[in-house]
């Protein structure tokens, strides 16, 4: 069963979509990346629900969660995750890209509500570090296109390897991504220091790496291992940064056996 729902947490309306798992399944809170409303994770969540009860978040300023004049900093998004996890039953948090950075910062601010962490290809940029490898116009131009109304074929120029259904969903939902929210998050990739938070993770944790991208490169992998040797690392060799979109089976193999 799939059902969308709203809750009031951390002072705003938070929208999530739930995919029911097996009876008694552990809960999982999925926090998507910078421009991925919850609905775009449906094809992943339905498979994760083979093992978990899956709740995918519309991060503030995206999808059906509250937007507008809000605080879109990493700390604010981390506090959202904490508040939602407190309502849930100590979920495993799976964060992709920006969502992984949110999960890392949330743990540093309050670790108690989380049973474990699956960190999927988090941008390893930050102060005095190399820049995030994606360029702002890819985000800004596609949001502008979606905001005026666009077809799936027009959106395909930004996502040439995605399936027809995946591109159509992005064309339909990208307009819900608040420009200020996306710009603040993108800038935060270069100003927020998540490395200081990595040693604070002491629950079971796994870093899932796109082997076909450079968001988490070999030097980053070595640094994470030094900062927190307890974090397991898995590589999905053929996938780019949008790992489930590039290699869904490889992604599932890297996460479904996670135990918290």
Q: Which pLDDT tens digit goes with each residue over 26-82?
A: 999 999 999 999 999 999 999 999 999 999 999 999 999 999 999 999 999 999 999
Mean pLDDT over all residues of the chain? 97
Distance CA(76)–CA(94), nearest Å, equals 18
Calculate the CA dihedral of residues 117, 70, 58, 233 and round it to 10 degrees. Answer: -20
pLDDT tens digits for range 99-150 = 999 999 999 999 999 999 999 999 999 999 999 999 999 999 999 999 999 9
The contacts of residue 11 (CB under 8 Å, 6+ apart) are none
Q: How confident is the model at residue 1 (pLDDT cuts 50, 70, 90)?
A: confident
pLDDT of residue 40: 98
- Are the C-beta atoms of residues 75 and 48 closer than 8 Å to each other? no
Residue 170 scores a pLDDT above 90: yes
Query: Where in 84-138 does DSSP place strands (E)?
Result: 92-96, 116-120
CATH topology of domain 2-130+191-255: Rossmann fold (3.40.50)
Interstrand relation of 92-96 and 116-120 (parallel, antiparallel or unpaired):
parallel
**Domain boundaries along the sequence of the chain:** 2-130+191-255
Per DSSP, the three-state class of 86 is: helix
Over the Cα atoms of the chain, what is R_g?
A: 17
For 81-113, letters b (16+ CB in 10 Å) and e give bbbbbeebebbbbbbbbbbbbbbbbbbbeeeeb
**Dihedral angle sign, alpha carbons of residues 144, 163, 251, 237:** negative
Which one, of 116, 108, 82, 94, lies nearest residue 193 by Cα? 108
């Amino acid at each position: 069963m799939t059902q969308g729902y709203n809750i009031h947490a951390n002072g705003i309306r938070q929208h999530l979509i739930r995919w029911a798992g097996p009876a008694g399944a552990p809960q999982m809170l999925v926090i998507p990346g910078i421009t991925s409303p919850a609905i775009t994770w449906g094809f992943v969540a339905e498979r994760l629900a083979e093992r978990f009860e899956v709740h995918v978040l519309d991060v503030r300023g995206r999808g059906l969660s509250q937007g507008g004049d809000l605080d879109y900093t990493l700390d604010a998004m981390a506090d959202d995750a904490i508040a939602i996890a407190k309502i849930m039953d100590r979920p495993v948090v799976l964060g992709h890209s920006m969502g992984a950075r949110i999960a890392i910062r949330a743990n540093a601010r309050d670790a108690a509500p989380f049973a474990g962490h699956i960190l999927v290809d988090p941008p390893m940029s930050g102060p005095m570090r190399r820049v995030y490898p994606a360029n702002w116009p890819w985000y800004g131009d596609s949001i502008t296109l979606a905001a005026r109304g666009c077809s799936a074929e027009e959106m395909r120029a930004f996502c040439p390897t995605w399936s027809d259904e995946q591109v159509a969903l992005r064309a339909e939902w990208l307009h819900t991504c608040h420009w200020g929210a996306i710009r603040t998050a993108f800038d935060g990739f270069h100003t927020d220091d998540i490395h200081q938070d990595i040693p604070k993770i002491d629950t079971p944790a796994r870093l899932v790496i796109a082997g076909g991208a450079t968001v988490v490169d070999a030097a980053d992998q070595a640094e994470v291992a030094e900062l927190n040797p307890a974090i397991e690392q898995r590589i999905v060799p053929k996938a780019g940064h949008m790992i489930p979109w590039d290699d869904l089976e490889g992604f599932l193999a890297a996460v479904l056996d996670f135990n918290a």
